[in-house]
Structure 1
């Protein structure tokens, strides 16, 4: 049977209804709030996958924050393809900014509206419906499809880290990361380092600053040097054709670090948070050493300069070759489905695929949804694109697994 025939078994109403059901189960992580986590949507998905006859595992990463893992096994030896889509969504924010109920999953103008419609419950629905489509089509293949449906992609990615620690990524030959990329084939993504820098001084009266040491002015000097480092990295690397420029962005500056601020009190500490985004060619260890060298240089220039640098998260950039089998399977399937050449691109942020790549799994990121819509009010996914994504996941899985 031709691979192209699998598309005959995709049911639009099925994927739309599942996407709506997932959106209607809020899964914003709200610490300390009853039901403010991914548990309800994970339980729904677990039951659905068991009903499909898959082998399903439910693993709690933290209380109320589970991963759901499921296998669809051909019964024949072969490769393993991973489809990965997270259950958590970001906050809906100010309700007044929405034209539609963020958890209503309304359909209007050929779009499904709601928090997570684009990022990434629509694509989670497409991945599950792709497996259902393959079951209905009964096209023989070798190996198995592994579904990873983790918690906390929007936070510190504890779900995918737990998945890897538990050994689930071992033996996976390729992964499709189901994220909103307009069905473009993203074969690279930026790395991310999250860092906290602190400068230390001595509290004093604002009218008598010389009796103390001002950490704020010293933080200003440090941030300006980091801006110079950012520019040097841009000049060294140039603009990446898919990812753009590397960046070192101070996002939070806070003084005092503890206690109430007061206009006539010079604080004893100042804190800045850095969102650092890297591109292929940057070594995170070397970049950290360059930042530490700046602290040492400033300390030599000013005997009262004291500062610390703490990297609290380190996510490497990823890059997968176009001739990798998982990329080839998706590219060939995209062209067969759309009669168009695939558009290759990069992910401007980090995904769970960051850690899968680090664990040795070749990844490609693709899925339905305008890449600029996630986290916006009136988030949506186009129905026709979501159906196309279901076709793409189903056919790509069969192509990769030798159907």
Structure 2
């Protein structure tokens, strides 16, 4: 059970990020990440943007598991992990989110540009905001709050950002599992 005072500190810190959370959601929405099966060029632009933002926010300990894919201009489908070291460096909490999105469909059916997210009545609207950027952004800012509060978690935390979830995960999570050797431990907690 988490200490109530630590929980209060973390949630207070997260509340202070409100504008930064909205800004990151809007910025991520502006970077299309449609896979080649759906006529897009993959996730590389979003992965580069996201990793640069994470570095600016103080994240480190990155590992890459990039899948080769000649259908996209970069030649790879990016997958990466940022680890926040805990007291136990052999037990992990995994938070796995995906960078790819489905195409917006018929643009005439959108009241706004789907890649220009906007806030209305306390909600953010735009392509990818719900699936899966809300989880991605929430995990990033929860980890950032722990780091800034100087809280070292009992278990290490792996934030995994994967490609290709919308179509098969063959170039994303499945690729990571197949290419990394044992990626998960039996007693890891995995949140997808």
- TM-score class normalised by the smaller sequence: 0.7 to 0.9
Stretches of structure 2 that go unaligned for 5 or more consecutive residues are: 69-74
- Residues 23 and 174 of structure 1: CA distance in aligned 2, closer, same or farther (over 3 Å): same
Q: Is 2:99 the counterpart of 1:93? A: no
How far off is 1:154 after superposition? Answer: 0.6
Match of 1:164 among 155, 177, 182: 177
Match of 1:4 among 4, 7, 18: 7
CA contact (8 A) 2:86 2:154 kept: yes
Q: What is the aligned length?
A: 176
Structure-1 residue corresponding to 2:72: none
CA contact (8 A) 1:79 1:143 kept: yes
- Residues 109 and 53 of structure 1: CA distance in aligned 2, closer, same or farther (over 3 Å): closer
Q: Take 1:77 and 1:36, find their aligned partners in 2: how far apart are those partners?
A: 36
Stretches of structure 1 that go unaligned for 5 or more consecutive residues are: 178-403
Match of 2:23 among 14, 17, 20: 17
- Residues 77 and 26 of structure 1: CA distance in aligned 2, closer, same or farther (over 3 Å): closer
SS class of match (1:120) = helix
- Residues 141 and 32 of structure 1: CA distance in aligned 2, closer, same or farther (over 3 Å): closer
How far off is 1:78 after superposition? Answer: 5.6
Q: Normalized against structure 2, the TM-score is what?
A: 0.83
Q: Take 1:99 and 1:121, find their aligned partners in 2: how far apart are those partners?
A: 20
Q: Is 2:157 the counterpart of 1:176? A: no
Q: Take 2:137 and 2:59, find their aligned partners in 1: how far apart are those partners?
A: 17
CA displacement, residues 121-158 of structure 1 (integer Å, 9 cap, x when unaligned): 12211111111111112223223100111101011111
Q: Take 2:83 and 2:89, find their aligned partners in 1: how far apart are those partners?
A: 14
How far off is 1:82 after superposition? Answer: 0.1
Q: Take 1:80 and 1:160, find their aligned partners in 2: how far apart are those partners?
A: 16
- Residues 151 and 77 of structure 1: CA distance in aligned 2, closer, same or farther (over 3 Å): closer
Q: Take 2:38 and 2:154, find their aligned partners in 1: how far apart are those partners?
A: 45
Q: Over aligned residues, Cα RMSD in angstroms?
A: 2.0
Structure-1 residue corresponding to 2:33: 27
CA contact (8 A) 2:44 2:76 kept: yes
- Residues 90 and 53 of structure 1: CA distance in aligned 2, closer, same or farther (over 3 Å): closer
